Structure 1
């Protein structure tokens, strides 16, 4: 199965909440020619420049020097480590653009989500993410947000330690597993502090949004035209709050509710994945002869029994490194294909094999989830997502408090509820504290019209969150895709695509409440 064949989108800001330590995960699309840095190396790639007394205006006055990288152009953008003290050091952000193929309107800055996904890949794979009409009109500009990819990446664990971290049980149900989860969390945050340095405390969404305005200026644009997916919608909404007068044409697809607490966000996503799993099983049943059972309830029981069996005894995979499919890896392998209906056949294959004792396909899907290839991690997304999310909202509970949350989470998701409840411990022990407007409230007052898109059975960013974002942003209009999978654009829905193109290319704001 190639990266090109497996069609996935990226996870929302709340991501997947895992047992005690794993906290939050990421799904992202990477090209086959990825040259990202793995977590083993990331600690050596954080490049910072010391105090130099520069003002913020000095950063705004810079120009990007572009060089060829494959068929695109690449460059770097220098930004302050700390916007409250811009003269006290800087970092460089990786930037990549694919030039417009037709009559150019300007630059369209894009973000694929995560948080933690390297946005340069979105430009590298622009022909996959965006339709011809959009690529003809805009230079597609992707950047690795601070702390991710090649932009002063945070680092927390070696690749070997990250393997164990991901494979751990996301729903520890014995004292020994709870102890392991607690120790995993402690190792993760101790490692983040030791391996990431000062940048670890300055990778918040607010700071990334400020970086986007420096990027806007360096691109020579008076206003920011922007297309953000999943977590990228939170990043875009934050930009609209900080720089409302600089908002140009902004589309936010797979929108999150920026007002949700970490706990409420976890509840929302638990419900979203339950809805997506039930939709997948219903489709299987409707097709006849479903291998999972003759009803949705029967299918859910088959999957829950399978996971319980893997928890008791991991499955062999034939992996050349000798790895078995643990219940943690099985969870990732099950979750990932729910992001796109196009990926359901891979889930069919993975589950059918697992039911026969072969965990190879689910392991492959889990590795794709974590950007693991050929025995190493090609980026630091699994680490960055935890640091960014917990810096934005450090709230957490202790392991002793988790059982008190089971009932509410199991009501939201009978299949995944306990996993998401354990995820509430994820930020316990974070050594960093956000210093740049950590309590920012978002309404985007004064911004130009913003297009918010939501999909009715989106697992990672449930539709209700798109409705909430559209209500909170004063200038927003809501566009709805009735369908399965994560995000709405470029999913074979011409009504959605036409509305996006009319807005971003022609400036025609869609009717609020448009449903496709």
Structure 2
């Protein structure tokens, strides 16, 4: 692979996953066709969730309003999801939980946070499991509408599933938004950012304007859109529903939120699951975070290895090489040639354009590392490309889809949380910053995807004008009300196993359960073993005695049978119970869903 000087500052954003969700960069987003269907679904779900969160607070005389003993809030029925009741409400929380003097006269400065709950049919104890889908910037409302049915099947009917749009996100008020209107966003958010050296002048100038616009547009609230404040919001949610103990399952960035909550409020952390773990020490303390990509190259190697094992009948790329080493080199070399020689693709008078390296590598290959159940499609597209037919790859990775704004929560939260601003990034000018970034990329643990780290927005972080208002510092030796359950895959492309081990070291008596396989968060690999550990933990507080590994079920990569091609085991011949079959089907649906995507893909 070429040195970092030839690498792109790729279109950025989103952590985590996964599972680091609803992420949106501040620049004009040009989604590929891979994104078109997803973005359309995101738009539909997001609009629905936004409309719900914006409307139910106005229904003061709605006959569907309901309340429950012990709760301090009133809910409004907001639909059903696979014969389960959904109910919604809004909660007002202080702008600053940690210093009330910042909240203005009569505590007039606050955030309004939408809550949505899927009621479990047998939740006799009225225990709510709080969920966070990731991001930062992931919408809980969208999460429930999209995944609530599957998660209910996996967790069981003994719990209500409760989630929320965090402060600054989606239906919360005010939102993290650096532009006053969507029209202005489209006009002002465009910047060239593929080549770090060649495009750095424009990016440097643009970043200065962007960070000033963020500060001006959000006003005083902007400084309080951060993870520690959101963790405190979760206590406000517990208090509102009359629940003393935190039951929580967080994915990707949601693991950072979970770790932050457990450190700030260990006495209430009774059942905390973190899945696809972010290293909180790097997130809060480091200018650069290289640990994210520790296993990304290993996941790509797994894609190549599984393809060769499957053979040409099940992986289209396998006929182009006789070994995994040969196929790996062929893919890297062929795609790299698109840097200087992109391909013009003409479909018809309405559909034509250019397929370049950045589209294939960062909008095609890298996102597929999150969800190996979709590797077969990636292999088909790449095989056609290497044979001279670029149409499928162009349609999947380069086509402009509907323009969808997810606002700027991802940028604002990440930058407010971490080390940002000229005082923390002292450079004499653009060239010095470029040298820092290039040196960082060249020292990355990933040689193939090192510039994926540009999704962290280094130019914006360096120029950031909003002051850091939290003083949260991650610590080790945290003893919680009950030890944490830490879930991970063996090879996660963005939240690696080593980060799960950092959380395991930080929280006393916490235990890791690793599902053997590739992908982002445990839900990337269907596994009844993982499910049994989750249920035992939630129901009984039971943790394994030591580090535990789980096998996956079925072949989520390049299966040969019709069932395996869908990621399924042969349910006809299995000895599983009917409930276990339903759980497996739900896990497979989640494993194939492209919810967890790189930050820059929203």
Instruction: Please confirm whether the aligned pair reaches a TM-score higher than 0.5, indicating the same fold.
Output: yes
Q: Are 2:94 and 1:80 aligned? A: yes
Distance 2:26 2:442 in 1: 17
* Match runs of 1:17-166 below 5 Å: 34-36=44-46, 63-71=72-80, 72-83=86-97, 84-85=99-100, 86=103, 87-105=107-125, 106-127=127-148, 129-130=150-151, 132=153, 134-151=155-172, 152-156=174-178, 158=182
Range that drifts further, 164-173 or 129-138: 164-173
Contact 1:456 1:483 in 2 (8 A): yes
Cα deviations by residue, 1:394-439 (Å, 9 ceiling, x for unpaired): 3457223223334312xx2221124436954451211212212243
Distance 2:406 2:436 in 1: 33
Cα offset, 1:168, TM superposition: 4.4
Residue aligned with 2:157, SS: helix
Distance 2:357 2:227 in 1: 32
Pair 419,136 (structure 1): closer, same or farther in 2 beyond 3 Å: closer
Indicate the residue corresponding to 1:387 in structure 2: 412
Pair 315,153 (structure 1): closer, same or farther in 2 beyond 3 Å: farther
Contact 1:272 1:459 in 2 (8 A): yes
Indicate the residue corresponding to 1:491 in structure 2: 525
Indicate the residue corresponding to 1:288 in structure 2: 311
TM-score by length of 2: 0.69
Distance 2:147 2:302 in 1: 30
Indicate the residue corresponding to 2:447 in structure 1: 414
Pair 327,189 (structure 1): closer, same or farther in 2 beyond 3 Å: farther
Distance 1:172 1:478 in 2: 38
User: Which of residues 419, 427, 435 in structure 1 aligns to 2:461?
Assistant: 427
Q: Are 2:417 and 1:377 aligned? A: no
Q: Which of these two proteins has the greater Rg computed from alpha carbons?
A: 2
Indicate the residue corresponding to 2:297 in structure 1: 274
Distance 1:322 1:159 in 2: 26
Cα offset, 1:11, TM superposition: 3.3
Indicate the residue corresponding to 1:358 in structure 2: 390
Cα offset, 1:81, TM superposition: 1.5
Pair 149,298 (structure 1): closer, same or farther in 2 beyond 3 Å: same
Structure 2 segments unaligned to the other structure (5+ residues): 1-14, 30-34, 55-69, 81-85, 313-317, 428-432, 551-602
Contact 2:16 2:135 in 1 (8 A): no
Pair 315,444 (structure 1): closer, same or farther in 2 beyond 3 Å: farther
Pair 13,427 (structure 1): closer, same or farther in 2 beyond 3 Å: farther
Residue aligned with 1:137, SS: coil
| RMSD across aligned positions (CA) | 3.8
Pair 32,417 (structure 1): closer, same or farther in 2 beyond 3 Å: closer
Residue aligned with 1:122, SS: helix
Cα deviations by residue, 1:39-69 (Å, 9 ceiling, x for unpaired): xx99xx9xxxxxxxxxxxxxxx983321122
Contact 1:168 1:181 in 2 (8 A): yes
Contact 1:451 1:477 in 2 (8 A): yes
Q: Are 2:328 and 1:299 aligned? A: yes
Residue aligned with 1:92, SS: strand
Contact 1:233 1:252 in 2 (8 A): yes
Contact 1:333 1:363 in 2 (8 A): no
Contact 1:256 1:465 in 2 (8 A): yes
Distance 1:311 1:438 in 2: 45
The alignment of Structure 1 onto Structure 2 pairs a total of residues equal to 475
Cα offset, 1:115, TM superposition: 0.9
Structure 1 segments unaligned to the other structure (5+ residues): 1-7, 46-60
